[in-house]
Amino acid sequence: SGAIAFKDVHFAYDPKRPILKGISFEVPAGKTVAVVGPSGAGKSTLSRLLYRFYDVQQGTITIDGQDVRDVTQKSLRAVIGMVPQDTVLFNDTIAYNIRYGRVSASEEEVVAAAEAAQIANFIQSLPEGFQAMVGERGLKLSGGEKQRVAIARTILKAPPILILDEATSALDTRTEQEIQSALDVVSRNRTTLVIAHRLSTVINADEIIVLKDGVIAERGTHGELIDRS
């Protein structure tokens, strides 16, 4: 379950400057579709519309055939997991931050999620900046480690739908590869919408949508798009 369909989606933050001008594509259940394009093309806007931070102004977005406008944001949050570009951590342990994905999870499940994201060795530590308040030694987390906390949280939540919004864009190449393999595990068999800057990071997507000037400029597999360019 969790098939997503964007149909003739139009959206503008400012009515004088349309961002999305009739976008139609599907993410079949369990598949991964990547949206790439230049900065400002409207990629993140698509994910915000799916999540109902904003609503489409024309067209529809459906999940398993149901218009997202008929679904509360709370219900959407239950089925959609988001790994954002920049993760903001709560003022508490890494374990607590992971548990936020599913507060009813057992300790074993939290540890298993941390292991899958390769951060099990410091789950009892606090993020830097918060240690002063509680008088414990804080841990300075790199961008990659913060992303792993977000990934562990998402592994624990195990939502049917995943949005990965430039989840590896801030990382160096080696960290990016490590995080990418953790993300590949999370997204296997889940309906996944990947937002990316570059084609090279979405080689395994079932389909790639290239957004440009508010429309779909090109679409195909990585191999097809490379052959045409």
Identify which of residues 90 and 133 has a Cβ nearer to ligand ADP in the complex. Answer: 90
Q: What is the 3-state secondary structure (H, E, C) of 174-207?
A: HHHHHHHHHHHHHHCCCEEEEEECCHHHCCCCCE
Closest CA to 38 of 199, 192, 201: 199
Q: Are 183 and 102 in contact (CB under 8 A)?
A: no
Number of residues that bind ligand ADP (CB under 6 A): 18
> Judged by CB under 6 A, which stretch of 33-41, 56-64, 179-187, 198-206 contacts ligand ADP?
33-41
- Return the residues of window 68-97 that contact ligand ADP according to CB under 6 A: 77, 82, 84, 88-90
- Return the residues of window 102-161 that contact ligand ADP according to CB under 6 A: 150, 153
The DSSP bridge pattern shows strands 20-27 and 32-36 to be: unpaired
43 counts as binding ligand ADP under rule CB under 6 A: yes
Instruction: State the minimum distance, in angstroms, from the CB of residue 37 to ligand ADP.
Output: 6
Output Rg (C-alpha) for the chain, integer angstroms: 18
201 counts as binding ligand ADP under rule CB under 6 A: no
39 counts as binding ligand ADP under rule CB under 6 A: yes
> Judged by CB under 6 A, which stretch of 43-51, 104-112, 136-144, 183-191 contacts ligand ADP?
43-51
H helices present in 40-141, as ranges: 43-50, 73-79, 94-99, 107-116, 131-134
10 counts as binding ligand ADP under rule CB under 6 A: no
Longest pairwise C-alpha distance within the chain: 58
Tell me which residues touch ligand ADP (CB under 6 A): 13, 19, 37, 39-45, 77, 82, 84, 88-90, 150, 153
